[in-house]
A = this chain, B = another copy of it.
Amino acid sequence: MIELGPSSRLLTKSAMQKSLNVQNQEEYISFALGLPANEAIPLTLIQRSANYYNNGSAIQYSPPLLKLKTQIKELVKQRGINCDEEEIFLTSGAQQGISLLTRLLHNKSRIIITEELVYPGFLQIAQSLEANIITISSCYHTGIDLNMLEEKIKASQTKPSLIYTVIDGNNPLSLSLSLKKRKKLVSIAKKYEIPILEDDPYGFLCYQQEQLPALKAIEQDYVCYIGSFSKVIAPALRVGWIIAPKYIIPKLSMLKESTDIDTATFSQRIIYKFIDGGYFEDHLTKVKDLYREKRDLMLSCIKTFLPPSTKCIVPQNGIFLWIELDNTIDTEKLFQEALKKKVIIIPGNAFAVPQKTTKDKNIANNCIRLNFSFSNYEDIEEGVRRIGLAL
């Protein structure tokens, strides 16, 4: 029998993988995963963009597509970011961006800082690197506790490798950080010279007129920004990007080459043509209108079908609701009850960073995360109704 290395022991199956492998998915209403709506995926326009090319060189080995970088440079101005093509690095989705940067920045301290409730995909990366994770508490209304962040940095004997965060449409908390807290967060990063990984899959899914700038727009030197087309065009094309200081890009390029050669240029060319054809802006507007309606419908269903003690902010960005139920509710049990009624939810504790060997059972045990982008209107109403029954 082949013996696996030490990192393999820490890897655990994510909710994502478990849910994707649920049998007879069609029988369930799923609010579990961060999926875009099938009806919001522009397959025909994607195919038209793919059909534009007429030479085999379109799917030959070739360097990352510069023209797409130029488009991204324009696009991220919506997030307040000014950058050059030389600061942009194309990835196979945001997850790869996070993974490559984390591997590259992981220093001898082996310390990584996250919120105590965190995107499980980031946890997997940290686990694969055998990292020590320092967790910071977050308020469900105002986000990460920056005083605690600074205290824990001061208390750390060696300088942590990085701070990982999602500041718009936080996963799982669904909130967006205030401008004041954004400024304070980057000032801490700068003061202690600890880079921030700003994971921004939901930055372009903003449901109101005014949007606050990305951290990268406020602070250039200590923020590495990670963006993606997965939620706004299509997941399975796997195209995302990093914006990082220029001196990091060649190292990213070498690490990516070792990982998967760095020549997935057919998907890059499809996205390029999709944007170049002028489809993107209209498409994004439609997607935002659709998701805003779904969000509002789910919020109104929660008022109708869940107890009056239920608390939930109105997310300005993203595709999730974070729902705080009465303190007496154990959402691990609620998850089981909901499953019997053919609804899939994720209990809040599933996002808690494991402490040494066990999860702190007290964290977010009365909370659930619901996705509102994937299900259709009927299923949103029926699904929330069933959660009400399960309660």
Contact = CB atoms under 8 A, between A and B. Distances in A.
B236 A125 contact: no
Interface in A1-53: 1-8, 11-14, 16-17, 20-21, 33, 35-36, 38-43, 46-47, 50-51, 53
Count of identical protomers in the assembly: 2
A7 B103 contact: yes
Contacts of A60: 35-36, 38, 41, 234-236
B266 A237 contact: yes
A92 interface: yes
A95 B258 contact: yes
Interface string A147-187: 00000000000010100000000000000000000000000
Contacts of A39: 56
Nearest to A36: B60
A260 B95 contact: yes
B259 A96 contact: yes
A307 interface: no
Interface string A225-248: 000001000111110000011011
Contacts of A53: 43, 47
Q: Which 4 A-B pairs have the closest CB atoms?
A: A41-B56, A124-B258, A59-B234, A11-B254
Interface of A: 1-8, 11-14, 16-17, 20-21, 33, 35-36, 38-43, 46-47, 50-51, 53-63, 92-93, 95-96, 99, 103-108, 121, 124-125, 127-128, 159, 161, 193, 195, 221-222, 224, 230, 234-238, 244-245, 247-248, 250-251, 253-255, 257-267
7 contacts: A2-B224, A17-B63, A40-B56, A43-B53, A47-B50, A61-B230, A93-B261
